[in-house]
Structures are given as structure tokens and as C-alpha cells.
Amino acid sequence: MSKLDEFLAGERHDDVALFLTHEYLDSQGKLPNLGEEVENGYVLVVPGDDGRRAFAAGTGMDAMEFSRTAMAEKGHIDRELGGGECPDHDSDENHQAEFIFSFSEEQNEEVGGLYARGDVVHAYAHCACGANYSDKWVIGEETETGVQPGESEPAEADE
């Protein structure tokens, strides 16, 4: 099982996952190509503090600040963190997700809602057009929770 598989299965709550496109990684040139190759780029799975440092070095942004900004918009993010669907995709621009920051949280019945259903993956994406957006889903319910492809609201909002 790869680190990314373990992360996506909720076995690496202390790690963060960073997705970066090949182009973005090359243009920044500050991050080693240590990640796992996915369809459109690389995913690095690293301990939280290292990940936040790598994120800042690679993007010039603070990971937490970026997450807060991205939380304001919802959009589908690939369940394997290889890309996303920009909420502004109707405009005539490049809408490839350039980077994604993700972490997981252990099931928490006290918080309720999504968090009571299982471990949750949070994902925050930055689009080439400048938009930031976020998604989150329950591990094991990837197609029943969070924003589904072609949708703009989380599936559980209808329940």
C-alpha cells in the first residue's frame, strides 16, 4: 500500500497530502520530486509540520491561511487528490487545479454530522484561474459525501 493509499484510507491522520502539477512543480523548482506520480502531477504525503513547510516553500502561501480562504467555496476535488473541478469553470480560462492541500480527521461522534459517520478527508484546491475551493468527504463514502463530479453542493446537504 502506498503512502497515498494509506492517507486516503484514514491511516495517516498526522500527515498531510500535497498535490502539485508537473508544471507548477517545475515552475517553482523548490520542492524535490519526492511524491508519487499521479495522472496530472505529484502527490507528497508527509508529516504535518513538514507538509506545511513544504507547502509554504512550494506555493509561497501559508497552508492554514490558504485552507481558510478555500473553505469559502465548494467544488469537487478528486478522491485521489489528482485534480478538481473549479467552481468558476464556465469562464474562458485554464481551470486546472495547480495544487491541493489535504489532511484527514478521525471519526468524531461528538461533533456529529459528517464527522460522526467516519474519518473525514479535507481537501483544498487552488485553480490556475486564481480561484480556491474546498471539498470534504467521509472515507468509505466517497461517492455519497462531499461534492460529486458536476455538482456544486455537497451530497450530504440533500439528506
Q: How far is the CB of 12 from Zn ion (least distance, A)?
A: 29
Nearest to 40 by CA among 58, 55, 23: 23
DSSP secondary structure letter of residue 61: S
- Between residues 94 and 159, which has the closer beta carbon with respect to Zn ion? 94
- Between residues 12 and 95, which has the closer beta carbon with respect to Zn ion? 95
Q: How far is the CB of 126 from Zn ion (least distance, A)?
A: 9
Which residues are at the interface with Zn ion (CB under 5 A)?
86, 88, 95, 127, 129, 131
- Between residues 7 and 133, which has the closer beta carbon with respect to Zn ion? 133
Q: How far is the CB of 93 from Zn ion (least distance, A)?
A: 6
Q: In a 10 Å sphere around its CB, with 0-12 CB exposed, 13-18 middle and 19+ buried, how is residue 16 labelled?
A: buried
Q: How far is the CB of 45 from Zn ion (least distance, A)?
A: 25
Q: How far is the CB of 102 from Zn ion (least distance, A)?
A: 18
Alpha-carbon distances of 2 from 5, 11, 17, 123, 129, rounded to whole Å: 5, 11, 12, 19, 31
In contact, 155 and 137? CB cutoff 8 Å: no
- Between residues 9 and 71, which has the closer beta carbon with respect to Zn ion? 71
H helix intervals, the chain: 3-8, 22-28, 48-59, 63-70, 114-117
